Structure 1
């Protein structure tokens, strides 16, 4: 179901060294706050950043809400715009996730998600392109092609989700579609909304998905989700996902094939207008979260730590907190989880990633037209 991309322009920008960052904070600016076991170093500033990923050489790709994909030097001091995409950035929309293909070293493929308009309203799409650095100093993302889109498109500006993760064997791509603040699509077998999807790297529904024989959309892996803003595999191959609950009931879930996670039939939160939603309960037929939060943390990005810089946290989950303005750690133990630390970061945290050296990187959310910092966290000594 490959389609031509809706791209306004691809910008081959000037060399990294020739495009200084307006308002960039000094990369050696550090802050150690009492009670935190890490030092915060400001790496760079961005305009409403949404996601980031590391290239093998330590450089970074960063998405900004209004449609720019940036190639950033490892020290954060230089950048170039390698693509400008036509996105619908109203509300919670924009250019969202960015992930490297498992075979990036050979293919140079990069996967992206964003919100766009189409028949019926708006929705999230999955696309991929090729990082082209043939012209030194003027890199670009070329051959951009849409390979999957959520169905149906509906009116509204919220709950797109759009997170991407590859299975450890590199054979499958998992893609999150939010329920778009419409509630019922999360339980609709024909819709991809409110679901975790399992696709091939080409964006096709993967063969053998667990619900296809029951009449579900063939891409569906699990359902009954709300706004899924983080998805990641741990070292044992378990798939974890976190999502925003309604008024209360943010969730960290162990995603299992074919399971129904209950929304909007059950939730540990309630509707914003005060109407109750039944809580998860043993024997209700729905998969309960491993951890839930009330009051909410408004979970953003999700990362499972595998580095050596913080050995005490190896194998733990890290979640960016939006309304909570926090970095949240969850202890993972096989298929079980429990709350760990919650550190006040003083700003909405949209994304959390692990750097090549085991440092933890976070992106502040900012807002369209304002700055959001990238911070590098290293052990306090």
Structure 2
């Protein structure tokens, strides 16, 4: 969808004040009003329950239950995370059959033999409304290998549209070469069964890769989402330059660290993506970087001009970024200055857009975006 469709709304009246609708953070009028729903402590990810309440993860390991109005916030379980550096309790996603199974999937960083790595787990939500707890938590999958360091865990989760498969991101842990190593899950997008086992028919197992691998040559994959046509989109942090949005194709090599539109932080060059190099090039890349966090494909009705587009949280860019998706192509759209690091973007059941700020002076607010007017 095109920014011009919202041009008129960019001149809309200023937002209201106080706890509730707030003025635009910086950078002039935006086509949405911002409502602070809750104040949290370094939140990472969120999902909506059928009753419109929310589950929110926090870096130190707490899984929160947040009421729809944000006035009631409870910890319903705490996981044994290693939260140093970029570690923490990461994604939270409901099982496709949540209505009957009450299962909730989580990812987090943990210490173990060999160092640290990302873990996929699930538990079962139980209890009366307002008194829910998450129990029966079991580990389903652990990245291979565990290595030293505190960065690039990734840990994003998405279910296929038919609910049969779970896609799980494993970052390359700032080790570069594992992204190309067929014996490691690091730097890969994995396709698993809902029980955490390798999904049958993964395309690279016959070539000697670990049987979980769906695509490889990734760096720090911090967002995955399916669009309405069943295409799987992924965003990842590039090195010094070269943040990416990719259309994921089964079995493909996305190049890192052999190809990237950025360079190593020590100044060493990485060859740019180019036709015929054998690698899948990104659909969109950024240099200077946006430091992407979270990815959502919008399908609601409150912002009809944006239906089908991707939204990404910007960390160092302190922005909400829109990417215009047209079939299997993508182009840059809007970049809204939010004045704070945006870790997560989620669509609410009513079609509003929800953001999680990533710490800083505000400690991490939950903000709801609705159309002006």
Q: TM-score range by the shorter chain?
A: over 0.9
Residues 249 and 296, structure 1, Cα contact 8 Å, conserved in 2 = yes
| Cross-structure match for 2:137 | 144
Output the CA distance in 2 between the equivalents of 1:235 and 1:27: 35
| Cross-structure match for 1:83 | 77
| Cross-structure match for 2:363 | 371
Name the TM-score, length of structure 1 as normaliser: 0.91
1:137 Cα deviation after fit: 4.2
1:370 Cα deviation after fit: 6.5
1:28 equivalenced with 2:20 (yes/no)? yes
| Cross-structure match for 1:107 | 101
Q: Which runs of 4+ in 1 moved over 6 A?
A: none
Q: Equivalent of 1:71, from 65, 74, 87?
A: 65
Residues 313 and 320, structure 2, Cα contact 8 Å, conserved in 1 = yes
Unpaired stretches in structure 2, ≥5 consecutive residues: 1-16
Q: Equivalent of 2:286, from 288, 293, 304?
A: 293
| Cross-structure match for 1:8 | none
Output the CA distance in 1 between the equivalents of 2:30 and 2:368: 14
| Cross-structure match for 2:111 | 117
Secondary structure at the residue paired with 2:312?
A: strand
Output the CA distance in 2 between the equivalents of 1:99 and 1:26: 32
Alignment RMSD, CA only?
A: 1.3
| Cross-structure match for 1:212 | 205
1:114 Cα deviation after fit: 0.2
1:35 Cα deviation after fit: 2.7
| Cross-structure match for 1:14 | none
| Cross-structure match for 1:97 | 91
CA deviation string 1:289-313 (max 9, x = no partner): 0000000000000000000000000
1:246 Cα deviation after fit: 0.2
Secondary structure at the residue paired with 1:47?
A: coil
1:278 equivalenced with 2:271 (yes/no)? yes
Residues 53 and 65, structure 2, Cα contact 8 Å, conserved in 1 = yes
Secondary structure at the residue paired with 1:213?
A: helix
Secondary structure at the residue paired with 1:105?
A: helix
Alpha carbons of structure 1 residues 26 and 80: separation in structure 2 relative to 1, 3 Å: farther
Secondary structure at the residue paired with 2:305?
A: helix
| Cross-structure match for 1:255 | 248
Q: After the TM superposition, which of the residue ranges 275-284 and 136-145 deviates more from structure 2?
A: 136-145
1:30 Cα deviation after fit: 2.5
Output the CA distance in 1 between the equivalents of 2:209 and 2:19: 49
State how many pairs are aligned.
Answer: 355
Residues 27 and 77, structure 1, Cα contact 8 Å, conserved in 2 = no
Name the TM-score, length of structure 2 as normaliser: 0.93
